[in-house]
């Protein structure tokens, strides 16, 4: 397959790009490098620096490098907390960027599209673990934006026949030996914990311990980025082979509290990792655990990283080698 990967220099996008190349596919990465890292993009990929809000650059990339079998969209703002302060980055910018990409996709007759969607669609789940049939209640402007994009895909399918996969990630984490998680500023739990273990941070803040969970801290389903990458490739292959559009919840199916993640990191790193409970963070639901049975059944997807220790160990390996991320 020849795949256009928007946001392919970001964390999940760059790991998926590498996995696509390893599986023998060809990739064109389109990324504005605002959050992504040029070093994270495999040399075998064609790299185009550009912004999805720049329709001329986007058009040019499709003309110069197509035709494509599929488009993947990893490019968007990605933070629940930030979206509660700057909803316009999400409801205006990321939506416009996404619609520009959808428009180019159908204009250049690409048959299949994969959207990075999110567990933040499920702010008030009636059933845990959360299946694809769960009612949609976005928990933040970030989740709302992804829901709008999923609905837009439905319209692009109806109007233009585009087939799509909407992949709702639970908590992406872990690293490969060469590709890691490097956000600026860093807001994600596991890399922040590892910064404490590296001596770069005094302690980890626990955002609230009065949630209705076993130890009062939030429960999340942590899924390794390589397992997410594999899900993207399987889904795109199914669509390119003529399969129908689909929505998949992607997680391990088991949840860990913030305190349990910190404990696991203590075991992996041998560092005491001091922690302090602080206020809740706006927009955080208490429990998010995926029922990822649909993709297992339909595509035979099987996460390789099922233990939280193994996931943290893979991240620890990369962060020790890159204590200051890609910069140094
Ligand atoms: N969290 C925390 N302290 C931090 C960062 C995150 O307690 O410094 C918690 C957060 O409230 C959530 C979980 O860790 O319950 C995972 O948060 P993260 O930002 O990594 O991912 P998200 O769940 O927002 O996708």
pLDDT at 232 over 80: yes
Rounded (5°) CA angle 321-325-328:
80
201: Cβ below 6 Å to ligand 1?
no
Q: Which residue owns the Cα nearest ligand 1 atom 12?
A: 218
Residue 172 Cβ inside 6 Å of ligand 1? The answer reads no
The CB of 281 under 6 Å from ligand 1? The reply is yes
Q: Which of 83, 185, 189 to mutate to test the pocket of ligand 1 (most atoms within 8 A of CB)?
A: 189
Q: Which residue has the higher pLDDT, 224 or 185?
A: 224
d(CA 188, CA 161): 37
Q: Is residue 284's pLDDT more than 90?
A: no
Q: How far is the CA of 99 from the centre of ligand 1 (A)?
A: 29
Ligand 1 center to residue 51 CA distance, Å?
A: 28
Nearest CA to ligand 1 atom 21: 188
CA 17/CA 29 separation, integer angstroms: 8
Instruction: Give residue 287 CA to ligand 1 midpoint distance, Å.
Output: 12
Q: Is 12 exposed, middle or buried (0-12, 13-18, 19+ CB in 10 A)?
A: buried
Using left for φ > 0, alpha for ψ between -120 and 50, and beta otherwise, residue 300 falls in left
pLDDT digits (tens, 9 = 90+) for 60-69: 999 999 999 9
pTM given for the model:
0.97
- Is residue 326 within 8 Å of 33, Cβ to Cβ? no
Q: Is 273 in the pocket of ligand 1 (CB under 6 A)?
A: no
State which of 168, 188, 191 you would mutate to test the pocket of ligand 1, scoring each by most atoms of that ligand within 8 A of its C-beta. Answer: 188
pLDDT band at 167 (very low <50, low <70, confident <90, very high): very high
Ligand 1: residue whose CA is nearest its atom 1: 189
Compute, in angstroms, the gap from residue 189 CA to the centroid of ligand 1.
Answer: 5
220 lines ligand 1 (CB under 6 A): yes
Instruction: Please state the atom number of ligand 1 nearest to the C-alpha of residue 278.
Output: 7
Q: What was the pLDDT predicted at 128?
A: 96
Q: What distances in angstroms separate CA 205 from CA 88, 196, 265, 281, one per listed residue?
A: 27, 10, 14, 11
Is the pLDDT assigned to residue 74 strictly greater than 70? Answer: yes
Place 275 in a pLDDT band, splitting at 50, 70 and 90: very high
Q: Of 23-27, 120-124, 144-148, 182-186, which range is least confident? A: 182-186
If one residue of 208, 281, 283 were mutated to test the ligand 1 pocket, choosing by the most ligand atoms within 8 A of its CB, it would be: 281
305 is catalytic: no
Of 142, 156, 169, 211, which one is the catalytic site residue?
142
Beta strand ranges found along the chain (DSSP E): 2-6, 26-31, 46-49, 70-73, 112-118, 163-169, 171-173, 204-207, 219-220, 222-224, 246-250, 256-257, 275-278, 287-288
**pLDDT number for residue 183:** 87
Encode pLDDT of 86-133 as tens digits: 999 999 999 999 999 999 999 999 999 999 999 999 999 999 999 999
| pLDDT(328) > 80 | no
> Residue 202 in contact with residue 151, Cβ under 8 Å?
no
């Amino acid at each position: 397959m020849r795949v256009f990967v928007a946001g392919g220099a970001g964390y999940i996008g760059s790991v998926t790009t590498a996995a696509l190349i390893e599986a023998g596919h060809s990739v064109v990465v389109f990324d504005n490098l605002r959050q992504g890292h040029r070093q994270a993009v495999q040399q075998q990929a064609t790299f185009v620096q550009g912004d999805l809000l720049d329709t001329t650059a986007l058009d040019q990339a499709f003309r110069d490098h197509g035709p494509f079998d599929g488009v993947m969209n990893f490019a968007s703002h990605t933070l629940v907390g930030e979206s509660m302060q700057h909803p316009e980055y999400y409801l205006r910018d990321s939506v416009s960027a996404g619609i520009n990409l959808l428009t180019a996709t159908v204009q250049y007759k690409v048959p299949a599209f994969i959207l990075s969607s999110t567990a933040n669609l499920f702010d008030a789940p009636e059933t845990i673990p959360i299946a694809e049939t769960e009612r949609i209640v976005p928990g933040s402007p970030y989740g709302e934006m992804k829901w709008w994009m999923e609905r837009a895909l439905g319209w692009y399918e109806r109007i233009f026949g585009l087939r799509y996969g909407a992949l709702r990630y639970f908590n992406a984490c872990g690293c490969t030996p060469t590709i890691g998680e490097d956000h600026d500023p860093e807001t994600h739990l596991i890399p922040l914990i590892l910064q404490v273990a590296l001596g770069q941070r005094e302690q980890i803040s626990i955002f609230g311990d009065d949630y209705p969970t076993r130890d009062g801290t939030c429960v999340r389903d942590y899924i390794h980025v390589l397992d997410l990458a594999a899900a993207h490739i399987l889904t795109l292959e199914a669509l390119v082979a003529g399969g129908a559009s689909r929505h998949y919840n992607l997680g391990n199916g088991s949840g860990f509290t913030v305190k349990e993640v910190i404990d696991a990191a203590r075991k992996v790193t041998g560092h005491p990792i001091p922690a302090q409970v602080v206020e809740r963070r706006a927009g955080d639901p208490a429990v998010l655990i995926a029922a990822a049975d649909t993709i297992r059944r339909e595509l035979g997807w099987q996460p390789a990283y099922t233990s939280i220790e193994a996931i943290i160990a893979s991240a620890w390996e990369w962060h020790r080698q890159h204590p200051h991320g890609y910069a140094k």
